[in-house]
Amino acid sequence: MSATATATPTDGRAVGTAIACYTLWGLLPLLFMAMAAHGFTAPEILAHRAVWSVFIAAIVLLLAGQSAEARQALANPRIFGWLIVSALLIGTNWSLYVVATTHHATLEASLGYYINPLLNMAAGAVLFREKIDRLSGLAIGLAAVGVVIQTIALGHVPIIGLTLALTFCAYAVIRKRVQASAQTGLFVECLVLLPIGATFLGWLVTHGQAVGFSSPTGLAWALFSGPATVVPLALFAWSARRLPLSTVGFIQFLAPTLQFACGVWAGEKLTLLRIISFAFIWAGAGVFAAAAFRRSRAAREAIRAVETV
């Protein structure tokens, strides 16, 4: 991100914005379930997200005053090349998530997003030589046990959850390295995915299978998928610049918790073994949050000590 943190960890607006962001992400399965109930297939939902998101992303880009940076990113082969890769990764992530939430696999999708911050931490240690303390190592270990139990409960490796975690982790690594702001990167990524979505929607229209263009209600659902995709990302970009990573790391567990609740509400099968597996995942998330809080407190104490001197 191009901006630096300008507020303290107690910035109420930033915390509220982060909570709103992860709440929207956590409730997103309800949108896809509702669209599926109105006749949308997962591929059509994805196509509409790809098409309508670019317009919302363009508005966000203009409001942020970063249109010039976007033009520079498109003209720079290295930056544009990396953003193509990140677009394909986030597109794969979106695709699998929509399929999961419209095919009664929301619980497994939530597993992926519980694992994701722990996987990010492991990736940081391997790729960026970030130190993992004992509590963080314990969190990763508990999550690994949870995945093993989930494998036993499902009768197969939780491919959906692991792929969601891996693709989003890889996406985060690339976005950490590429020299582009959050708004610019998002706009370019949406621009890359636009032709894919537009081509598929064109095929659906030609064959009379486009639910999104069959009625005003269908069009309303299709159009709503754009802001539902971009608004949480914009809120995240704003709040993440103003909050310590430890605070963001704690709040981000709100999204998979709400996703889990959506899956249970939708009647997905929740066996005792799956509950035990999630208990290990939740324990890992709790330890992760505790470790993040301890690091944040130590950092604040160090700052106060320097200021006192």
So where are the chain's domains? 12-308
Give the tens place of pLDDT for each residue, 274-290: 889 889 988 887 887 77
Give the tens place of pLDDT for each residue, 54-72: 999 999 899 888 899 999 9
For 27-41, what is the mean pLDDT? 94
77 CB-contact burial (10 Å; exposed 0-12 / middle 13-18 / buried 19+): exposed
**Distance of alpha carbon 71 from alpha carbon 179, whole angstroms:** 13
Give the tens place of pLDDT for each residue, 191-204: 999 999 999 999 99
Q: Which two three-digit tokens encode residue 24?
A: 């929207």
Where do we find the tokens 């607006």? 13
Report the amino acid identity of residue 215: S
Q: What is the mean pLDDT of the chain?
A: 84
For 82-110, what is the mean pLDDT? 92
Q: What's the DSSP call for residue 265?
A: H
Whether this model's pTM surpasses 0.95: no
The region of weakest confidence among 62-71, 161-170, 195-204, 233-242 is 233-242
Q: What is the pLDDT of residue 140?
A: 78
Q: What is the pLDDT of residue 9?
A: 41
Q: Using alpha carbons only, give the angle 288, 291, 294 rounded to the nearest 5 degrees.
A: 150
Pick the closest to residue 251 from 200, 285, 201 (CA basis). Answer: 285
pLDDT value at 8 more than 50: no
For 253-278, what is the mean pLDDT? 89
* 42: confidence class by pLDDT, cuts 50, 70, 90: very high
Q: Which two three-digit tokens encode residue 184?
A: 């610019």
Q: What is the pLDDT of residue 7?
A: 41
Give the tens place of pLDDT for each residue, 86-95: 999 999 999 9
Task: Report the percent of the chain where pLDDT is more than 90.
Answer: 42
Q: Which two three-digit tokens encode residue 221?
A: 């659902």
Q: What is the pLDDT of residue 245?
A: 57
